[in-house]
Structure formats: C-alpha cells, structure tokens
C-alpha cells in the first residue's frame, strides 16, 4: 500500500474490522493516483473475488465492459444505462461465496445522465452485503444525488494545479459561450479559429459538459460553491433554457465527445453541430 494513501487505508480497514463499512464510497482525486488498485486491494481485504466482484470500465466503443479482476478494458468512453442495468442484475443475486458483493465503477463520471439516474436507484436501495465503489477524477460531473449518497474518500495529488486548471476551463468556456446568441456564421468562424489538436478540442468539450451540468443542477435547486465561483453568470442565454433543452444538449455533447475521441469524425464539424443547438 502506498504511504501516500495509508490514511485512507487505515480508515477503511478500521471500518471493515468494526463492521461499519458504508454501502457506497466515492474515491475522488486526480488521475493516475492508484485509486482503482486501492479499490481492488480493499476488495481483497474484504475477501471478495470473482464471481462476487464486478469492475465496470468503459471501452473504446462507448460500451462499458463488465469484467472480473485483472481483465478490465483500459480505454475510456461513455458508460450507458444498459451496463448499469447489468450491474443491478448482478446485485439481485446472493453472493456466490456467502460474503460481500462488490461493484467498482472506474471513471464513474463517464456514466451518461440516463446511466447515472439508473445507478441512483441502486444507491437508494442497497441489497444485503453490497459495497459500491465509484472512482472519479471529476466528481463534479456526477449527479449531486449520487454524490450525497456516497461517502467520499479523497486521494490527494497535484493540489496546486486545481485552481489554475479551473481558471483555464473558465477562459475556454467564456470564449465558447460568447457564441450562444450569435448567428451560425459567427459560430462557424469561432470553430474555424480553434486549434485543431484533438486533445484540446476534447478539453473544450469537457469544460462545456461541466458547465451544462452546473446549469442543470442549478435549475433543480442544487448548487455547489466551487462551481458557482467559476460558472455563475457565464451565459445568461443557456441559463434561461428549460431543463429539457439542457438535457438534450448534454446528451448531444456526450455523443460528440465519444465520436471525436474514438472514431474518425471531423472534430471541428462535430463541434459546429453542437454549437447549432445553443
């Protein structure tokens, strides 16, 4: 066990030894800090192994893989509702080995809105000795109702970068959102001047998705201080859209993000299609 995560390990081991484990944890923190390996070590401590251990990891096709330990896909795309329903089916049956059943959802923020809503039902109605572990480097992209039902375990790393990254995201968003009230010709002009680098375009989409979720959460009466600090008032146009339209744009942005990352789709053309909706 990494010394850096010893506090987290000691805390969870005490909870397990005293039979006080929560039914759901959110392991949050920067990428590449060993959160998934930590989750698998915790499953080993509890004595849970295949077929009572399921790891949900998104695959390049956009379909999540449901794999036993050691056989997860490592590439990322969206996690659709169909895979969460398979998780629910997995949890509907008693443990094969008579102990815990554990589900680890890697990159949990990649669940689309439908999948998150479906997963929420699992969180609300835990069955028997069930442990759900969500892993995310972007917990702000999870529904607040999911966030509130999990006990967050923070994995610290690169904390000094967080403020700078948030400011960079805000600048990206300001430039994109300025196009909302403009005619299509101006939106296309904005896309044309963007850096064609695929990673930078993906970062633009990711920032936009975070903002859309902030707007959606605000409309249903859930606000977070950190998000308000960076996102409040960025686009009065979008913030006046009805919830149904915001959800439609979120779903479209998720679809476009996957196509840009995992197919030969023209990134700029895909972004133009998205901007036509705002």
Which residue ranges make up each domain of the chain? 3-155, 161-275
Check for a shared fold between 3-155 and 161-275: no
For the segment 148-193, what is each residue's pLDDT rounded down to a tens digit? 899 999 887 654 445 677 788 888 889 999 999 999 999 999 999 9
Whole-model pTM: value is 0.65
Residue predicted with more confidence, 17 or 58: 17
- Dihedral sign from CA coordinates of 39, 44, 48, 54: positive
For the segment 228-239, what is each residue's pLDDT rounded down to a tens digit? 667 888 888 898
List, in sequence order, every beta strand (DSSP E) within the chain. 24-29, 53-58, 64-67, 101-105, 130-136, 151-155
**161-275 under CATH 3.30.300, yes or no:** no
Question: For the structural domain made of 3-155, what CATH number should be given?
Answer: 3.40.50.300
For the segment 87-145, what is each residue's pLDDT rounded down to a tens digit? 999 999 989 888 999 999 999 999 999 999 999 999 998 888 999 999 999 888 899 89
Task: Report the percentage of the chain scoring pLDDT > 90.
Answer: 44
Count the Cβ atoms, other than its own, within 10 Å of residue 57: 23
């Amino acid at each position: 066990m990494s010394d850096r995560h010893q506090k987290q390990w000691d805390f969870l081991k005490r909870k397990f030894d005293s039979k006080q484990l929560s039914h759901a944890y959110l392991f949050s923190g920067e990428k590449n800090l060993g959160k998934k390996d930590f989750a698998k070590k915790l499953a080993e401590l509890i004595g849970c192994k295949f077929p009572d251990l399921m790891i949900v990891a998104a695959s390049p096709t956009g379909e999540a893989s449901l794999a036993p330990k050691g056989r997860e896909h490592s590439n990322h795309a969206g996690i659709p509702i169909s895979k969460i329903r398979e998780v629910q089916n997995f949890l509907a049956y008693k443990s094969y080995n008579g102990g815990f059943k554990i589900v680890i959802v890697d990159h949990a923020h990649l669940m689309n809105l439908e999948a998150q809503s479906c997963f929420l039902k699992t969180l609300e109605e835990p069955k028997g000795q069930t442990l759900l572990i969500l892993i995310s480097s972007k917990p702000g992209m999870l529904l607040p109702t999911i966030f509130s039902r999990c006990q967050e375990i923070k994995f610290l790393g690169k904390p000094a970068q967080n403020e700078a990254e948030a400011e960079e995201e805000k600048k990206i968003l300001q430039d994109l959102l300025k196009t909302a009230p403009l005619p299509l010709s101006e939106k296309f002009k904005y896309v044309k001047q963007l850096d064609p680098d695929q990673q930078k375009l993906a970062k633009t989409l990711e920032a936009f998705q975070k903002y859309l979720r902030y707007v959606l959460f605000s409309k249903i009466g859930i606000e977070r201080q950190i998000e308000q600090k960076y996102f409040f008032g960025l686009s009065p146009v979008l913030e006046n859209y009805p919830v149904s339209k915001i959800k439609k744009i979120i779903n479209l942005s998720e679809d476009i993000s996957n196509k840009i990352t995992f197919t030969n789709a023209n990134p700029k053309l895909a972004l133009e299609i998205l901007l036509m909706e705002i």
